[in-house]
Amino acid sequence: MADFAYLRDIDPTILQDIRYAGSNNFVGRRLPGYDAAECIVTRKVGLRLKAIQAELRPRGLSLKMLDCYRPVRAVAEMLAWSQDGETAAARRYNPHVAKQDLFRLGYIALRSAHSTGAAIDLTLVELAADNSAAFDPAKDYADCTAPAALRAPEGSVDMGTGYDCLDPKAHTAAQDLTPQQRRWRNELVTVMARQGFVNYAREWWHFSLPGADTTTYVFPIRPRR
């Protein structure tokens, strides 16, 4: 088995908002296998994230983890969701792409690199900013492509879309962005690349390490002790 570790044990300063451990995600509910809101990664990935954090902190910035290791059963739940016909929870995340087309178009993978422990979803946070706004499940937020003030709060810099926005505007090189949004995306890609991470072109938040072990795992994410 790969050398997995809780990221908090490697660098407790890296912020975490593990979205599939709650309801603030495109499925609209906690996914199976997410028994705790903890980022688990291979130790190699964790040490590289620690190095990136050490570069960012003196600049008043922090990484914020949104998803790390993903149990295989959670991927199966995503597939079931795409075929269940329900749309209410999805409108905020895929306003322009039919949910049944998300796998075919590459927005969600049938075999996720997250299940190897070598893929991660993350964003950047300005530590001096007011990041206190919390997600309210009862509130009718605008969809993920709307201006940041209208969509669900992310507690992070404005990357032009929300996390897990299954839409062309979330493509890393999308054109319909402000100069500042473009700058933040470029900053994230650049700082991650310095530690060998490669971005997935359809998702500004998704990065992986080339050449990592491709074995996928099914163990659940348990509370850290």
| Ordered domains of the chain (ranges, CATH) | 4-208 (3.30.1380.10)
Question: How much helix, strand and coil, in percent to the nearest 5, is found in the chain?
Answer: 25, 15, 55
Confidence of residue 88 (pLDDT cuts 50, 70, 90): low
CB atoms within 10 A of CB 4: 16
Instruction: Report the half-sphere exposure of 20 (CA within 13 A, side-chain side).
Output: 27
pLDDT digits (tens, 9 = 90+) for 127-182: 999 999 999 989 999 999 999 999 999 999 999 999 999 899 999 999 999 999 99
How far is C-alpha 144 from the chain's CA centre?
A: 14
The per-residue pLDDT for range 13-56, each reduced to its tens digit, is: 999 999 999 999 988 899 999 999 999 999 999 999 999 999 99
**Tally of CB atoms within 10 A around 201:** 12
Q: Taking residues 114-122, what's their average pLDDT?
A: 95
pLDDT for 192-211, tens place per residue? 999 999 999 999 999 999 98
Q: 89 falls in which pLDDT band (50, 70, 90)?
A: low
Is 1's pLDDT higher than 80?
no
The residues near 27 (Cβ < 8 Å, ≥ 6 apart) are 20, 77, 78, 81, 89
Active site residues: 203
pTM: 0.94
